[in-house]
Structure 1
Amino acid sequence: MATSSLIPSSLIVLFIISRLVSIIGQPMPWTNSLPHQLLTLEIADRLRLDSEETKLASRDFGKLVQAKPAAVFHPSSVDDIVNLIKFSYNCQVPFSIAARGRGHSIRGQAMAQNGVVVEMTSLKHNNSEGGFRVSQSSSLGFYADVAGGQFWIDVLIATLEHGLAPVSWTDYLYLTIGGTLSNAGISGQSFRYGPQINNVFEMDIITGKGELVTCSKQINSKLFYAVLGGLGQFGIITRARIALERAPNRVKWVRMLYHDFSAFTRDQEHLISINGLDYVEGSLIMHHSPPNNWRSSFFSPSDQMKINSMLTKHGVIYCLEVVKYYDDLTTGTVDEGLQLLLNGLSFPPNFVFKKDDSFVDFLNRVRSGELKLQAKGLWDIPHPWLNLFVPKSRIMDFNAGVFVDILYKQNKTMGPVLVYPMNRNKWDDRMSAVIPDEDIFYSIGLLLSSGDSDWAALEKQNQEILQFCEKVGINAKQYLPHYKTRKDWKNHFGAKWETFVERKAQFDPKMILSPGQRIFNYF
């Protein structure tokens, strides 16, 4: 009698535990191993349980956190991923699943503690699984269908064979389509074309229920807008239809130096308000963050001597960087057209530097720096990066409080520091991505790196920057966000938070996907 009376209580306890697990989206500590039934499925031969695979998937580009999965999954088809997610969804205790592309996240966003990491690049060369196709329609113009696990560099090379190229880029091309679309995908082209998420026509998504859904602005639009900038919370991107345009052959690349931050930002804001340029970015130059860095080798040795003289006088200088594309038809007019665009700017006349480069080499400029650092053993090190969107109305305060009082005076910065404006009207507010509520806002990229023993000091500096913004009321938004509490995430999403939660409940109700973002689960 006593034994039978315990059975219902045990079942109730198990039910409560399973519901708690589905709420927090993580297996409990005693469920570290995956359900044994998973190993009996047809997809089991694509699971890797060995320590080397799981160790690799437990670290990312940031080298700041570690979360070891129970297994790494190498799908041979989209259906393999569907079956994996369906299995987890139907388990009494679902296990977490994270899609991993290049592993270029900074703080464990593509990790799944005790869950399964899906290596999306396994599909990037499989043409039968969303591989690559260029098409044209009267309504969309030129577009390409590409697999979510393909690298942007592969898309560039393939589209150039058709005389075409995507319109919006990131500065670094060895990232996957699914990875950048889950965040936003920004660079110096964003002022004109918007981020990469604004240049997508259609996607195939596997939701947290294991449903493969085609979505666009017209079809399954709620899922479409949720996934773009959705931090992987609503589904895994297996195919994206992205906008293309006629590709140029070459670029005119110009850098202008300023010691007056107000003149620098005024000229940047002017350039993104007019037609004609294809790329506008800016950066800081300090003695401990030299003119040439791993992002590009632009300045000659004689240029650097001249720049160092300016640095000695002013301490911090600001580099405005612009590019104009051209081809065989516009070779004779590009210089004159570029000069007209730059007339009236406020840079000192002796501090303008010009370069002519191929279109491909310009877009892929970061790669050569990466290879040089890899050869020196300086790439696979901690990267405590901090990326922010700062409202135009507070950019002068940010310069004084961060660029000057923190970065320059503390002399800790080791890596490029980017600062350039974007137009809010090039972003679709229906998407999940969050930006400041002003017509113009600045992208700030503190792309810092350090030795294994030094990264904590840079992390402390990042916290000081965030605390400064909070103290003086700068409503900055993190790009590639990282927060530790539900309160912070709610504050980040602001008016979009309730919609974000509702979308999660609809498309990933058991909170299986992307646990490493720590939005709905903490560990």
Structure 2
Amino acid sequence: MCSLSKSKSNKHVLCRIILVLLLSCTPYSTNLSSCCSSSNILLSPSVSAAFSLRTLTLDGYLEFEDLGNAAKDFGGRYHFLPSAVLHPESVADVSAMIKHVFELGTFSELTVAARGHGHSLQGQAQAHKGVVIQMESMKSHEMRVHMGKDPSVDVSGGELWINILHETLKHGLAPKSWTDYLHLTVGGTLSNAGISGQAFLHGPQIDNVQELEVVTGRKGDIITCSEKQNSDLFYGVLGGLGQYGIITRARISLVPSAERVKWIRMLYHEFSTFSMDQEHLMSSKETFDYMEGFVVINRTGLLNNWRSSFSPKDPVRASQFNSDGKILYCLEVAKYFDRNEYHVAEQSIEKSLSELNFIPSTLFQTEVSLVEFLDRVHTSETKLKEKGLWDVPHPWLNLLVPKSLISHFAEQVFGNIIGDNNGPILIYPVNQSKWNNKTSLVTPEEDVFYLVAFLSSAVPSASGNERLEHILAQNQRVIDFCSRTTTGCKQYLPRYSAREEWQSHFGPKWEVVTRRKLEYDPLAILAPGQRIFQKSSGIVSTKAQVQAT
């Protein structure tokens, strides 16, 4: 058998010769002795397809060794090795790869997955024995900021949001909607939704996109799409979990940026008061620019982590506060302002705070730059990496819970199912009217729903609630509770194993999902790690699904 190294050796040339002979043989199991004079060498379709990758002419390059990184992600639980990793230099490389796999047809089991910064939770960006496209290889392409009445920035699908922030700030502009962590790629977050504390005002990131360039799973077609041009693909790809195409370029809406941020946290004893205040801020005409919240489950009564480096407004009373081991709820808000608007911002903050019902002694605040605020999670990442606690399994669970069910959910889940938690539990409402229901994202069918995120970390060789098995079992109890008693909940960043589960998840959108899959990725080449459609099923299975619906 010839070497799979990247060198241009005689062995590599021999491989190319053998490949030509191989592809002229039977497509199911190839006996080279019937095609050439070598000894018996049986190669499966998947192996011969992997060999065929070497025939591609690319601006970038393919890697066939040291593929372990492409089999890792932030979740840290699934590790599926690909056959190769593509480091594209251009959109033409992405198109060529998909076209090649498409033209191999059902003869090949090769699939293609786009990988951003590796922050998938359950192997969604992996491709077992397929090809992983490392999208960050394209991020060096120049960003173009468009000024004017409706400013925007053109970026590569592999660009990191933190880089977009730094570049747009040079022009006094910034995107409207963010994720809590900015070291993620544009294509990655737009394939899901991109949700953070600005979503109650501006919707998720997928609702702040003007145009996309997409390489579809049908022959690697390169298509520019927007609300008015190829709109079906545009809305399908946004929140589409990578099922219809790979985002290679995006035009992101921008607004004038602020210089400073007043960042505030406060505590509540009762969930009902906490949620009422959150919903009040969401509906107010004059409100904050960012709003989230989280659950403080601490049986010891000592409260430190929730306020970090924040300063108390009343130091004496704050020092006397004790949780008595009760569950508390923290409201987190932020106001953006320029230095010359400081006093106006302070007046607005005081007015908004006066309308809330938090525990007075627990008002904490700080002032930071816009970059420090938006990139706050990266600061925590650095500290955790120093302690060896960042590259550990992250069995996260993200839910979208209807407003009508959130009180019951909080009572049962936070009161009974969750014990001392070893990671943040985020909870905050968003307004459906700010979200475009034309995208592929699935949300509860109510005007207001809550994001609830259990962001646990499993420490290796740990015991108790830090064990991976314990966290997974706890997550399953939460999921079972939702299935059993609170119909209408949806998973965000979902991953299911059975088609029936995906049909239930998409609900009325399932027919559109299957129709788009047939149109834009008929051989189910793309995003195999999502486990929605299987390559081996091919177009026949997809047609059957459409007919069944």
TM-score (norm 1): 0.89
Distance 1:304 1:291 in 2: 14
Change (3 A) 1:82 1:98: same
Percent identity between matched residues is 47
* Secondary structure of 1:438 counterpart: coil
Distance 1:29 1:341 in 2: 67
Distance 1:102 1:35 in 2: 24
Q: Which residue number corresponds to residue 98 of structure 1?
A: 113
Code of the aligned partner of 2:491: Q
Distance 2:233 2:60 in 1: 31
Question: Contact (CA 8 Å) 1:255, 1:320: kept in 2 or not?
Answer: yes
Question: Contact (CA 8 Å) 2:292, 2:426: kept in 1 or not?
Answer: yes
Deviation at 1:212, TM superposition (A): 0.3
CA deviation profile, 1:195-216 (whole Å, cap 9, x unmatched): 0000000000000020000000
Distance 2:341 2:100 in 1: 56
Q: Which residue number corresponds to residue 112 of structure 1?
A: 127
Question: Contact (CA 8 Å) 2:28, 2:45: kept in 1 or not?
Answer: no
Corresponding residue to 2:247 among 237, 246, 250: 237
Question: Contact (CA 8 Å) 1:100, 1:117: kept in 2 or not?
Answer: yes
CA deviation profile, 1:449-483 (whole Å, cap 9, x unmatched): 01234211101110010001111134210000011
Corresponding residue to 1:368 among 379, 390, 393: 379
Number of equivalent positions? 489
Distance 1:230 1:399 in 2: 29
Q: Which residue number corresponds to residue 5 of structure 1?
A: none
Question: Contact (CA 8 Å) 2:318, 2:361: kept in 1 or not?
Answer: no
Deviation at 1:137, TM superposition (A): 4.6
Query: Structure 1 residue 171 and structure 2 residue 184: aligned?
Result: no
Corresponding residue to 2:74 among 61, 64, 81: 61
Deviation at 1:252, TM superposition (A): 1.1
* Secondary structure of 1:87 counterpart: helix
Deviation at 1:299, TM superposition (A): 3.7
Q: Which residue number corresponds to residue 453 of structure 2?
A: 445
Change (3 A) 1:318 1:435: same
Change (3 A) 1:284 1:307: farther
Q: Which residue number corresponds to residue 4 of structure 2?
A: none
Q: Which residue number corresponds to residue 22 of structure 1?
A: none
Q: Which has the higher contact order (CA 8 A, sep 6+)?
A: 1
Question: Contact (CA 8 Å) 1:76, 1:123: kept in 2 or not?
Answer: yes
Distance 2:146 2:112 in 1: 33
Runs of 5+ unmatched residues, structure 2: 1-24, 30-42, 462-466, 537-549
Question: Contact (CA 8 Å) 1:100, 1:120: kept in 2 or not?
Answer: yes
Query: Structure 1 residue 320 and structure 2 residue 331: aligned?
Result: yes
Distance 2:48 2:424 in 1: 42
Change (3 A) 1:306 1:515: farther
Code of the aligned partner of 1:324: K
Distance 2:171 2:478 in 1: 45
* Secondary structure of 1:272 counterpart: helix
* Secondary structure of 1:225 counterpart: helix
Query: Structure 1 residue 202 and structure 2 residue 200: aligned?
Result: no
Q: Which residue number corresponds to residue 401 of structure 2?
A: 390
**Which 10-residue stretch deviates more, 279-288 or 105-114?**
279-288
Deviation at 1:286, TM superposition (A): 2.0
Question: Contact (CA 8 Å) 1:296, 1:366: kept in 2 or not?
Answer: no
Distance 1:161 1:199 in 2: 20
Question: Contact (CA 8 Å) 1:291, 1:304: kept in 2 or not?
Answer: no
* Secondary structure of 2:250 counterpart: strand
Code of the aligned partner of 1:114: K
Distance 1:302 1:421 in 2: 26
* Secondary structure of 1:468 counterpart: helix
Query: Structure 1 residue 467 and structure 2 residue 480: aligned?
Result: yes
Question: Contact (CA 8 Å) 1:325, 1:359: kept in 2 or not?
Answer: yes
Code of the aligned partner of 2:348: G
Code of the aligned partner of 2:112: I
Code of the aligned partner of 2:339: D
CA deviation profile, 1:54-82 (whole Å, cap 9, x unmatched): 11111100001111101111011110111
Change (3 A) 1:45 1:181: closer
Distance 1:79 1:370 in 2: 35
Corresponding residue to 1:71 among 60, 84, 104: 84
TM-score (norm 2): 0.85
* Secondary structure of 2:122 counterpart: coil
Question: Contact (CA 8 Å) 2:155, 2:251: kept in 1 or not?
Answer: yes
* Secondary structure of 1:145 counterpart: strand
Question: Contact (CA 8 Å) 2:393, 2:457: kept in 1 or not?
Answer: yes
1:137-286 equivalences in 2 (<5 Å): 137-138=148-149, 141-209=150-218, 210-275=220-285, 276-286=287-297
* Secondary structure of 1:43 counterpart: coil
Distance 1:207 1:305 in 2: 61
CA deviation profile, 1:294-318 (whole Å, cap 9, x unmatched): x983446999997797554252100
Corresponding residue to 1:494 among 507, 519, 530: 507
Code of the aligned partner of 1:178: G
Question: Contact (CA 8 Å) 1:97, 1:513: kept in 2 or not?
Answer: yes
Distance 1:461 1:515 in 2: 27
* Secondary structure of 2:343 counterpart: coil
* Secondary structure of 1:232 counterpart: coil
Distance 2:317 2:70 in 1: 45
Code of the aligned partner of 1:400: E
Q: Which residue number corresponds to residue 416 of structure 1?
A: 424
Code of the aligned partner of 2:245: G
**Bigger Rg, structure 1 or 2:** 2
Change (3 A) 1:326 1:208: same
* Secondary structure of 1:265 counterpart: helix
Q: Which residue number corresponds to residue 346 of structure 1?
A: 357
CA deviation profile, 1:413-434 (whole Å, cap 9, x unmatched): 2111000000001111110000
Query: Structure 1 residue 335 and structure 2 residue 350: aligned?
Result: no
Distance 2:284 2:84 in 1: 51
Question: Contact (CA 8 Å) 1:122, 1:149: kept in 2 or not?
Answer: yes
Corresponding residue to 1:485 among 498, 508, 523: 498
Question: Contact (CA 8 Å) 2:427, 2:450: kept in 1 or not?
Answer: yes
Change (3 A) 1:314 1:378: closer
Q: Which residue number corresponds to residue 21 of structure 1?
A: none
Q: Which residue number corresponds to residue 42 of structure 1?
A: 57
Distance 1:429 1:42 in 2: 41
**Which 10-residue stretch deviates more, 29-38 or 73-82?**
29-38
Change (3 A) 1:133 1:457: same
CA deviation profile, 1:239-286 (whole Å, cap 9, x unmatched): 101110000000111111001100000000000011331001000112
Question: Contact (CA 8 Å) 1:477, 1:492: kept in 2 or not?
Answer: yes
Deviation at 1:288, TM superposition (A): 6.9
Runs of 5+ unmatched residues, structure 1: 1-9, 15-27
* Secondary structure of 2:360 counterpart: coil
Query: Structure 1 residue 122 and structure 2 residue 137: aligned?
Result: yes
Change (3 A) 1:44 1:193: closer
Distance 2:321 2:535 in 1: 48
- Pairwise CA RMSD of aligned residues? 2.4
Change (3 A) 1:393 1:191: same
Distance 2:56 2:528 in 1: 24
Code of the aligned partner of 1:258: Y
Question: Contact (CA 8 Å) 1:287, 1:311: kept in 2 or not?
Answer: no
* Secondary structure of 1:520 counterpart: coil
Q: Which residue number corresponds to residue 392 of structure 2?
A: 381
Corresponding residue to 1:425 among 417, 433, 437: 433
Q: Which residue number corresponds to residue 25 of structure 1?
A: none
Question: Contact (CA 8 Å) 1:384, 1:459: kept in 2 or not?
Answer: yes
